[in-house]
Amino acid sequence: MNDPNGVIQWRGRYHLFYQHNPHGPIWGDIHWGHAVSEDLVHWQDLPVALTPTRGGPDEGGCWSGCAVDNGGVPTIFYTGIRGTYDLAQSQVTCMAVGSDDLVSWEKHPANPVLTPPKDLDLIGFRDPSVWRDRETWYQIVGSGVRDVGGVVLLYRSHDLLEWEYLGPLITGDKRDPSLWTGSIWECPQLLAFGDKHVLLFGVWEDGTHYTVAMTGRLSGHRFVPEHTRKLDAGDRHFYAAQTLTDETGRRLMWGWVQEDGNARHEAGWAGTMSLPRELSLAPDGTLRMRPPEELTSLRAAHTRRSGLILEGTHDLGARGVQLELSAHLVPNGSACGLGVLRSPNGAEETRIFYDPARHKLGVDRRRSSLDTGSGLSLDVQEGDFELQAGETLQLHVFLDHSVLEVFANDCFCVTSRVYPKGQDSTGVCAFGNGAELETVDIWTMGSIW
């Protein structure tokens, strides 16, 4: 699998579609897979929702898109690939209408409902996101202008079939590094929080990709960014974010957590979804992200330690590869944090660290695996993070075998993949040089299947 698609709460149930190659653990011949959940925690597989149609405007693949409620009719917008992969003009928006259980989908006879504007030299036109504001539908599409950079194009419609082009919502500028331009912006999402907006998109550059969150405001049909940052310091391990607003009014977000290395070939599958994240906007414009309350239902055996002054590495006694950890730390000037997937002799270990001197928080994978022959990136994934005076560091960590998701102080996330070699690399530790571990709660985590 790759991107989450069409996330929607329908008749109370959460539906999550995703980019899917039914033939094997590599990217290609993209269909839409489908899973459903009653409680946001346990998921059930459903049949493939969209398959490319030979001779149709999506014969080269059903790429990313969204789902909306059109007056009680479930409706998908997705990117059809007309035959060939690489020409901007081959990427078009298609529409499909669903049965009430969202299991069967009929492609609309008017497809494609939207084709790229001819007056821009685009290098892609994909990943429609559609929403309604009063009586008007809007659609944004991810794109890139040759030699300029990423761009998000804006459209509006009254019937979802005829779309009027309103111009670029925002255009990147390669001269302005704060715009994180890249060559193309994928999977745009525009989220309203009161009179503020957050624009999410994936920046695709050769050799790297990551998700950007811009906080700003709308001025007519233009988005004016005020603050730009990466959404997740794991870069490509949290990509192509997609959100829904659920019946309780929460904004929930998923991302694609892709593989590292070659484990996929032995496993026969590749790629996972992140845990859902609940989004909100702090009064100062900071995007907050936290795990939804429902995830506590997976908690099983519990241990707690408190009041430890950390000198070096301290074994916390717990072991496991499916764990939730919640720690409160008082740093003291040098790096401190938690270690997971630690072998008894410490040769393998993945560290979640905060370095107050460098103002960095991240995941140190340099010793995550002794398996050096399988193409793994054994690196440090980190981003800018600074505690305010007197603020405690809160690390909330979900470890699910090779998937590691870290939330720091509900505003900073790092998602990573780690593949230790040792069967006994299951230890949990804390480390520091005089830092205080006020408390750490550790739960073994149940299965979502």
Closest to ligand FRU by CB, 63 or 137: 63
Residue 19 binds ligand FRU (CB under 6 A):
yes
Read off the tokens for 304.
């707690």
Residue reference for tokens 């009680």:
72
Rounded Cα–Cα distance for residues 268 and 193 (Å): 41
Residue 3 annotated to the active site? yes
x-marked contacts with ligand FRU along 71-90 as a string, rule CB under 6 A:
--------x-----------
Residue 355 binds ligand FRU (CB under 6 A):
no
Active-site hit among 3, 58, 235, 355: 3
Residues 6+ apart with CB under 8 A from 69: 8, 10, 75
Beta strands in 71-163 (DSSP E): 73-81, 91-98, 105-107, 122-133, 136-145, 149-157
Least distance from ligand FRU to the Cβ atom of residue 182, Å: 12
Read off the tokens for 328.
């409160």
CA nearest 445: which of 326, 297, 342? 297
In the list 107, 155, 186, 237, the residue contacting ligand FRU (rule: CB under 6 A) is 186
Read off the tokens for 323.
């764990």
Phi, psi of 134 (to 5 degrees): 50, -120
Least distance from ligand FRU to the Cβ atom of residue 318, Å: 35
Residue 273 binds ligand FRU (CB under 6 A):
no
Q: Are 62 and 77 in contact (CB under 8 A)?
A: no
| Contact set for ligand FRU, span 215-254 (CB under 6 A) | 239-240
Beta strands in 178-245 (DSSP E): 184-193, 196-205, 208-219, 222-230, 239-245
Least distance from ligand FRU to the Cβ atom of residue 95, Å: 16
User: Is the sign of the CA dihedral 299, 302, 305, 311 positive or negative?
Assistant: negative
Closest to ligand FRU by CB, 205 or 294: 205
Cis ω on the peptide bond leading into residue 112 (within 30° of 0)?
Answer: yes
Least distance from ligand FRU to the Cβ atom of residue 19, Å: 4
Closest to ligand FRU by CB, 201 or 353: 201
Least distance from ligand FRU to the Cβ atom of residue 21, Å: 9
Edge-to-edge strand order for the sheet containing 91-98?
62-70, 73-81, 91-98, 105-107
In the list 17, 32, 63, 385, the residue contacting ligand FRU (rule: CB under 6 A) is 63
Residue 64 binds ligand FRU (CB under 6 A):
yes
Closest to ligand FRU by CB, 63 or 254: 63
Residue 365 binds ligand FRU (CB under 6 A):
no
| Contact set for ligand FRU, span 426-445 (CB under 6 A) | none
Residue 30 binds ligand FRU (CB under 6 A):
yes
Least distance from ligand FRU to the Cβ atom of residue 102, Å: 20
Residues 6+ apart with CB under 8 A from 8: 14, 15, 67, 68, 69, 74, 102, 244
Read off the tokens for 16.
């999550």
x-marked contacts with ligand FRU along 199-218 as a string, rule CB under 6 A:
---x----------------
Closest to ligand FRU by CB, 65 or 276: 65
Closest to ligand FRU by CB, 129 or 426: 129
Residues binding ligand FRU: number (CB under 6 A): 14
Rounded Cα–Cα distance for residues 243 and 130 (Å): 12
Least distance from ligand FRU to the Cβ atom of residue 65, Å: 8
| Contact set for ligand FRU, span 111-170 (CB under 6 A) | 126-127
Closest to ligand FRU by CB, 8 or 361: 8
Distances (CA, A) of 371 to 79, 350, 410: 38, 14, 33
Edge-to-edge strand order for the sheet containing 136-145?
122-133, 136-145, 149-157, 164-171
Q: Contact residues for ligand FRU (CB under 6 A)?
A: 2-3, 19, 30, 63-64, 79, 126-127, 186-187, 202, 239-240
Could you give the residue numbers annotated as active site?
A: 3
